[in-house]
DNA sequence: CTGTTAGCGCCTTCAT
DNA sequence: ATGAAGGCGCTAACAG
């Protein structure tokens, strides 16, 4: 591969002049600029970013750490992030954490070693605080997506959990439901805490009682929905819920599956609503009522915040962007006559 | 950030010794090794990969270029690639080409500049040959996924297109169909050519006539399925097909949508089958009959081939891996009585 | 406007 | 087993 020295020699200038041409410095006369640019083309020279990074201490590399790129919520985030990154001159490194703190921790050390300029991360939960502090220690800016972490101050892009829960539950109430179960994520994740809090508030606002036996926490990866459904169905018909709110698409889908295993018809026997839209392409075959999150915007806005932080064009105080969910009413929650 | 010099000074050894410890060289005595490792820990030293890359001319970075991470076929590829890359000590850079040769070309120049060790690519078509030759010129190994490119010799991971078409069409014939349309991709993509060829062969093998009016090519991004469906439906009932084969999930989904717009019931009025499974999570709500491709394996096997090529543990002759599709029979193709 | 010098953090090579 | 010198390709800082 040709270097600036090769170009310099062939064009009869100093390497520094070549560097200036590459970086569009104004301190080069038009004739030399043209001469150098021709030589660059004739030698098919492509600048070596690694060398550049070493000097400048910037790699133009960003990292995106998500749970699983296979999940529609996260791959839409990834798409938004990549589009924005490209547009602003950065490249995106992909990492799947699978909700594992250890995997996340290993990745973060790797990323520091790689020299990424910043990290977009959907943290695994409050346990991620330690990992994020590692980033801070090494001066790597980061933006949290979708989830906050206790004790960590930084730029954030979140969904309005209260609004989402409110829309979902109000819809269920309109459909005549009064006993509504919540199948939540683990409470070390901020979303889960907020969604439960909102659930309690919205029920109370609607003068509905809160039955602790109808509130569950499962894991977002190793799912225990099946057992939860079994125990729900074993309740007496007086206590048994007529509707279920699942707090993400993974849990929502597993809820439906578990109900079917028990030969329960959704929505006739029991209604189901959830967060996120699990049907990326198959919108021709809608079924689940969801509070859809603007995942693409999570990615693109988060990336913008991050790059502004990296390039120090951001205000000092951290920014918190709260996006609105959209209620998409579909078959799984509709009263059948 | 601490450097090997900081460690060296504090541990009273030379930087070279520190380097040896980091790289697990045997040429270090046990006492010094321990001393150095303690200092590394006490200073929270993390090696600078950029500097390492500059010397060694290897970045441990791989690039994955796909059409769109939002498509289930591609995000499963990405998952397979990332898992394998991580396991083998590499990181993955994500790029969406949107089937655009220009975007692909720009990415490739960027990647060369970034110094990736290799590229996993699902090319946009035969026009990608020029871009791939650029990679070769700069000694960057690559592996093609899902599609071949005319005039390019390299490692490949493909699906058995003939088998897929055969399974789909034989299934349709079993369901009693004889007039089967093909909505294909553009023929500058190897897959499309092969799928059309297989379509012709399988029909002929089954002694069915080939009607050129039933063979269409659309684009995998800007879709023209809607017009195609309109023209299909305007055919006389004698010529009108009773079944449609769509050659990827995008086209398949758009076919269904277009048919619904015309108030056609699938499968009662017309059957539809396609490549790829468009329903990643929503398998609780299956509808489309598909020839499902082992996308995860595309990614992981491709990555393995690539890394073996990079590390020169691969045989000199290129390898071609052909994976088997699986026929998943669902509602969209079943005869209704 | 152009060039020279020095150094980013690490590793190869050669000495000891 | 350990160290010293030199260089990977580039750019900041300074000199002219």
Question: Which residues in range 219-258 of chain A are in contact with strand D, contact meaning CB within 7 A of any of its atoms?
Answer: none
Q: Which nucleotide is nearest to B36 (CA to C1')?
A: D2
Length A110 CA → C15 C1' (Å): 35
CA–CA distance, B326 with A141 (Å, rounded to integer): 45
Confidence label for A286 from pLDDT (cuts 50, 70 and 90): confident
* A to B CB pairs, distance under 8 Å: 153
The predicted-structure confidence for A152-175, as pLDDT tens digits, reads as follows 999 999 999 999 999 999 999 999
For the purposes of burial, counting CB atoms within 10 Å of the CB of B153, is it exposed (0-12), middle (13-18) or buried (19 or more)?
A: exposed
Residues in chain A: 337
Strand boundaries in chain B, DSSP class E: 61-66, 91-96, 118-121, 142-145, 155-159, 180-184, 215-217, 243-246, 271-275, 289-292, 320-323, 326-328
Checking each nucleotide's C1' against the CA of B5, the nearest proves to be C9
- Of A165, A99, A111, nearest to A135 by C-alpha is A111
The shares of helix, strand and coil residues in chain B, as percent rounded to the nearest 5, are: 45, 15, 40
Q: Hey, of B282, B287, B289, which one would you mutate to test binding to chain A, going by the most A CBs within 10 A of its CB? A: B282
Structural tokens at position A62: 């960003």
Across the interface, whether the CB atoms of A75 and B70 are under 8 A apart is answered: yes
User: What pLDDT does A285 receive?
Assistant: 76
Residues A50-79 have a mean pLDDT of 97
Query: What does the alpha-carbon distance between residue A64 and residue A81 come to, in Å, rounded to a whole number?
Result: 8
Token pair, residue B214, equals: 């039933």
pLDDT tens-place string over residues A295-314: 999 999 999 999 999 999 99
Q: Is the pLDDT of residue A282 over 70?
A: no
Tokens of A170: 């109000």
Give the pLDDT confidence score for residue B117 in this predicted structure. Answer: 98
Q: Are A238 and A206 within 8 A, CB to CB?
A: no
Q: Which nucleotides of D are covered by protein (CB under 7 A)?
A: 1-5, 7-13
Question: Which of A69, A185, A224, A94 lies closest to B280 in space, CA to CA?
Answer: A69
- Whether A62 and A78 have beta carbons less than 8 Å apart is answered as no
Question: Residue A328: is its pLDDT beyond 70?
Answer: yes
Asked if B92's CB is within 8 angstroms of A91's CB, the reply is no
Beta-sheet pairing, A91-96 with B91-96 = antiparallel
Say what percent of chain A tops pLDDT 90.
91
CB of A43 nearer than 7 A to strand D? no
Report the alpha-carbon distance of residue B60 to residue B52 in Å, rounded: 10
Separation of alpha carbons B300 and B297, rounded Å: 5
Q: Write the residue in A49, A96, A112 that is nearest to B115 by C-beta.
A: A49
Cβ proximity of B153 and B187 under 8 Å: no
This prediction's pTM:
0.95
Q: Is the Cα torsion angle A283, A285, A286, A288 positive or negative in sign?
A: negative
Q: Report chain A's mean pLDDT, rounded to a whole number.
A: 95
d(CA A280, CA A298): 16
Question: Is the model's pLDDT at A116 over the cut of 90?
Answer: yes
Cβ–Cβ below 8 Å for A284 and B260: yes
**A139 Cβ contacts chain C strand, under 7 Å:** no
pLDDT score at B337? 59
Q: What is the pLDDT of residue A127?
A: 96
pLDDT of residue A221: 82
Q: What is the pLDDT of residues B69-113, one digit of tens each?
A: 999 999 999 999 999 999 999 999 999 999 999 999 999 999 999
Q: For residues B237, B243, B249 and B254, what is the CA-based torsion angle, rounded to 10 degrees?
A: 20
Average pLDDT of the segment spanning A130-146 = 97
- Segment A250-274, tens digit of pLDDT: 899 899 999 999 999 999 999 999 9
Nearest nucleotide by C1' from B1 CA?
Answer: C9
Half-sphere exposure of A213 (CA within 13 A, CB side): 12
* pLDDT confidence tier of residue A220, bands split at 50, 70 and 90: confident
B213 touches strand D (CB under 7 A): no
Which nucleotide lies closest to B50 by the C1' atom and the CA atom?
C9
Query: Which pair of structure tokens corresponds to residue B260?
Result: 């619904």
Query: What pLDDT score does B128 carry?
Result: 98
3 state SS of B60: coil
Distance of C1' in D9 from CA in A104, Å: 33
Contact, A27 CB vs strand D, < 7 Å: no
Q: Is the Cβ pair B281, A69 closer than 8 Å?
A: no
- Helix (H) or strand (E) holding B131, with range, is helix B129-137
Structure confidence at residue B222 (pLDDT): 80
Please answer whether residues A220 and A250 qualify as being in contact, where contact means their C-beta atoms are separated by less than 8 angstroms: yes
User: Which is nearest to A22 in space by CA: A9, A7, A42, A10?
Assistant: A7
**Helix (H/G/I), strand (E/B), else coil: B242:** coil
In this complex, the answer to whether residue A22 has its CB under 7 A from any atom of chain D, a nucleic strand, is yes
Residue B4's contacts (CB-CB under 8 Å, 6 or more residues apart) are B15, B18, B19, B22, B45, B47
CA A75 to chain centre: 8
- What pLDDT tens digit does each residue of chain B (337 aa) get? 899 999 999 999 999 999 999 999 999 999 999 999 999 999 999 999 999 999 999 999 999 999 999 999 999 999 999 999 999 999 999 999 999 999 999 999 999 999 999 999 999 999 999 999 999 999 999 999 999 999 999 999 999 999 999 999 999 999 999 999 999 999 999 999 999 999 999 999 999 999 999 999 998 888 789 999 999 999 998 999 999 999 998 899 899 999 999 999 999 999 999 998 877 666 777 889 999 999 999 999 999 999 999 999 999 999 999 999 999 999 999 986 5
Q: Cα–Cα distance between B218 and B225 in angstroms, integer? A: 7
Q: d(Cα B309, Cα B314) in Å, to the nearest integer?
A: 5
Give which of A206, A261, A207 is closest to A232, Cα–Cα.
A261
| Segment A37-50 mean pLDDT | 96
Q: Give residue for tokens 């603007």.
A: A294
A254: phi then psi, degrees, rounded to nearest 5: -65, -30
CA–C1' gap, A6 and C3, in angstroms: 16
Q: Say if residues A124 and A96 touch (Cβ distance below 8 Å).
A: no
- Pairing mode, strands B271-275 and B289-292: parallel
Q: What share of chain A is helix, strand, coil (3-state, %, to 5)?
A: 45, 15, 40
Distance of CA B102 to the CA centre of its chain: 19
Written as six digits, the tokens of B179 are 């007039």
Nucleic strand C contact set for A 47-66 (CB, < 7 Å): 51, 54-55
Chain A residues whose beta carbon lies within 8 Å of the beta carbon of residue B244 = none
Give the C-alpha separation, A94 to A71, whole Å. Answer: 14
**For strand B142-145 and strand A142-145, is the pairing parallel, antiparallel, or unpaired?**
unpaired
Distance CA A273, CA A255 (A): 10
Write down the pLDDT at residue B280: 65
What's phi and psi for B94, nearest 5 deg? -100, 130
- Most B CBs within 10 A among A280, A290, A332, hence the mutation to make, goes to A280
User: What is the CA A98 to chain-centroid distance, rounded?
Assistant: 13
**Residue A197 vs residue A337, higher pLDDT:** A197
What are the residues facing B288 on neighbouring strands?
none
Two structure tokens written together for A100: 């594992």
């Amino acid at each position: 591969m040709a270097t600036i020295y090769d170009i310099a020699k062939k064009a009869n200038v100093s390497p520094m002049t070549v560097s200036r041409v590459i970086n569009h410095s104004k301190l080069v006369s038009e004739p030399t600029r043209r001469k150098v640019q021709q030589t660059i083309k004739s030698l098919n020279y492509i600048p070596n970013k690694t060398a550049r990074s070493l000097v400048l201490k910037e790699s133009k590399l960003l990292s995106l750490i998500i749970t699983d790129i296979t999940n529609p919520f996260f791959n839409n985030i990834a798409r938004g992030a990549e589009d924005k990154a490209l547009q602003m001159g950065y490249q995106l490194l992909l990492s799947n954490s699978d909700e594992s703190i250890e995997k996340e921790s290993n990745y973060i050390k790797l990323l520091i070693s790689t020299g990424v300029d910043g990290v977009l991360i959907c943290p695994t939960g409050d346990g991620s605080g330690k990992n994020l502090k590692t980033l801070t220690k090494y001066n790597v800016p980061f933006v949290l997506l979708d989830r906050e972490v206790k004790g960590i101050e930084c730029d954030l892009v979140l969904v309005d959990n209260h609004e989402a829960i409110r829309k979902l539950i109000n819809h269920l109430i309109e459909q005549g439901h009064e006993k509504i179960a919540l199948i939540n994520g683990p409470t070390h994740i901020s979303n889960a805490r907020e969604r439960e809090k909102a659930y309690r508030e919205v029920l109370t606002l609607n003068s509905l009682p809160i039955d602790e036996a109808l509130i569950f926490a499962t894991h977002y990866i190793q799912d225990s929905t099946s057992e939860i459904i079994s125990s729900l169905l074993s309740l007496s018909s007086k206590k048994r819920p007529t509707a279920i709110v699942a707090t993400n698409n993974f849990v929502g889908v597993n809820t439906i599956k578990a109900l079917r295993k028990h030969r329960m018809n959704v929505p006739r026997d029991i209604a189901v609503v959830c967060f996120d839209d699990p049907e990326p392409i198959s919108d021709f075959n809608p079924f689940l009522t969801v509070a859809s999150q603007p995942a693409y915007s999570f990615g693109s806005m988060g990336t913008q915040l991050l790059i502004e932080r990296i390039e120090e064009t951001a205000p000092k105080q951290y920014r918190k962007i709260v996006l609105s969910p959209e209620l998409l009413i579909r078959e799984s929650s509709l009263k059948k006559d």
